[in-house]
Amino acid sequence: MIAKSMAPFLEGSSVIRAMFEEGKKMAKVYGAENVYDFSVGNPGLNPPKEVKEAINYINNEMDPHLVHGYMANAGYESTRQAVADNLNKRFGGDFTFENIIMTVGAGSSINVLMKTIFDPGDKQVVFSPYFVEYANWARNYGAETVVVPTKEENNFEPDAEGLKAVLDEKVKVVIINNPNNPTGAIYSEESIKAVAEVLKEAEKEFGHPIYIISDEPYRELVYVDKKVPYIPDLYDNTLIAYSWSKSLSLPGERIGYIAVPNKSDNAEEFVAAAIVANRVCGDTNAPSLMQLVVERCMDAQVDVPYYEKNAKDLYKIVTDAGFRAVVPQGAFYLWVKSPVEDEKVFVAKAKEHRILLVPGSAFAYPGYVRLSFCISNETIQRSKESFDELGKDFFGK
Ligand code: PLP
């Protein structure tokens, strides 16, 4: 018998994963080359060559006991120091290894942070559309999710006034994901500053920290000349959750980190608690081999111009077919307005043309769909005919 508390997880079980399975079934029927699967954000690019070189070096040259053994729960000191140095080099700051905890990817980073912060009955605020796992993860710790919608006319930027309206003494966390999944937007410094101002006031009013968890797995995937704001510069109680799933195309390897700035509330005690949270959540430590790999790949990244070309080509194909879409600035998603109110009708129609999309309701934002473009450029090119047919279904051109 399963626990009653599992029910909400099962009800909301992932639409995106279901589409992924659907894609595999359709590929068997129509042939993989005739199915245009824009559902899952599973990076299609190979990891950069530095990853393979690092794996070979570690396997050939390093002591296997060190490579594969148990270690401190926070990870190898050398890896943590390399992360700290890299952050200091890129953004300034005073990180040392003591500010960094290696984790099993961004999902784990966020769970560990939530375990460290939430008591049952606490709340987090998210800006929709948002990555819905945030709500599932908060539920693991008895915390509630309050959703503040963003607006198309405001480029889907976080709404500081909307945030102000929902804050109360139970709110302990606000999650910001930038560049954004699913809109592909890069939130501006101005809107994050406005959020920070609201939170600073609320911290004074309620007498406790309200943390921004800055979820940054797409930080390096940027296609326009726009800075991704570095939130610790704008707000002291910012905790960074990072992952190499996208920047090095290593999602199956499960490797990421948490960075806790010295200027955040009681940073030393917080890090000590988060290290324990990492252990008691069951991860124990991040994968040892992958820690040693990323330590040697701090400046490496996937072929970002490839994704940039995908972004341009898919945007053109989709808008030429008559649909309205947001120009992707970062991450690897195209956010498209559904031509009919119920976007699930649009998703079903697209499937008839062997195009797989994710409905916006999977991101708590009906009326839109998400297309993931981390697939091959050839697949994107081949999808043009199907998009043109889909356009005719709705606009009759
Ligand atoms: N946060 C966002 C916004 C994501 O899109 C994803 C994965 O798609 C994650 C977190 C989880 O990343 P990881 O694979 O590192 O757990």
pLDDT digits (tens, 9 = 90+) for 114-146: 999 999 999 999 999 999 999 999 999 999 999
Q: 222: which DSSP letter?
A: B
User: How many residues appear in the chain?
Assistant: 397
Q: Is the CB of 129 under 6 A from ligand 1?
A: no
> Which atom of ligand 1 sits closest to the CA of residue 243?
15
- Between the CA of 393 and the centroid of ligand 1 the distance, in Å, is 34
**C-beta separation of 138 from 144 below 8 A:** yes
- CA distances to 54, 98, 245, 279, 291 from 75, in Å: 18, 11, 18, 11, 8
Cα(313)–Cα(318) distance, integer angstroms? 9
Other CB atoms within 10 A of residue 315 CB: 20
Cα(95)–Cα(88) distance, integer angstroms? 6
Cα(382)–Cα(281) distance, integer angstroms? 44
Q: What is the 3-state secondary structure (H, E, C) of 40-106?
A: CCCCCCCCCHHHHHHHHHHHHHCCHHHHHCCCCCCCCHHHHHHHHHHHHHHHCCCCCHHHEEEECHH
Q: Is the CB of 179 under 6 A from ligand 1?
A: no
Q: Is the CB of 237 under 6 A from ligand 1?
A: no
Q: Is the CB of 256 under 6 A from ligand 1?
A: yes
Kindly state the tokens that stand for 10: 């099962």
The pLDDT of residue 218: 98
The ranges of the chain with pLDDT < 70 are: 12-14, 397
Q: Collapse the DSSP code of 134 into the 3-class scheme (helix H, G, I; strand E, B; otherwise coil) and give the result.
A: helix
Q: 330: which DSSP letter?
A: B
Q: Is the CB of 245 under 6 A from ligand 1?
A: yes
Q: Collapse the DSSP code of 99 into the 3-class scheme (helix H, G, I; strand E, B; otherwise coil) and give the result.
A: helix
> Which atom of ligand 1 sits closest to the CA of residue 107?
16
Write phi, then psi, for 313 (nearest 5 degrees).
-65, -45
Cα(240)–Cα(163) distance, integer angstroms? 20
Ramachandran assignment for 173, one of left (phi > 0), alpha (psi -120 to 50 degrees), beta (any other): beta
| Alpha helices in 103-166, H assignment, sequence order | 105-117, 133-140, 160-166
**C-beta separation of 243 from 259 below 8 A:** no
> Which atom of ligand 1 sits closest to the CA of residue 180?
3
**Nearest alpha carbon to residue 211 among 256, 263, 281:** 263
- CA distances to 76, 336, 383 from 312, in Å: 40, 14, 14
Kindly state the tokens that stand for 92: 């300034």
To 10 degrees, the CA torsion angle through 43, 11, 147, 122? -110
Cα(344)–Cα(383) distance, integer angstroms? 20
Q: Collapse the DSSP code of 361 into the 3-class scheme (helix H, G, I; strand E, B; otherwise coil) and give the result.
A: helix
The residue whose CA has the least distance to atom 5 of ligand 1 is 181
Cα(85)–Cα(136) distance, integer angstroms? 33
Q: Estimate to the nearest angstrom the gap between the alpha carbon of 394 and the chain centroid.
A: 32
The pLDDT of residue 15: 73
Give 372-386 pLDDT, tens digit per residue. 999 999 999 999 999
Write phi, then psi, for 114 (nearest 5 degrees).
-65, -40
The pLDDT of residue 213: 99
Sign of the torsion angle spanned by Cα atoms 30, 36, 39, 42? positive
The pLDDT of residue 13: 64
**C-beta separation of 179 from 123 below 8 A:** no
Cα(355)–Cα(7) distance, integer angstroms? 31
The pTM score is 0.96
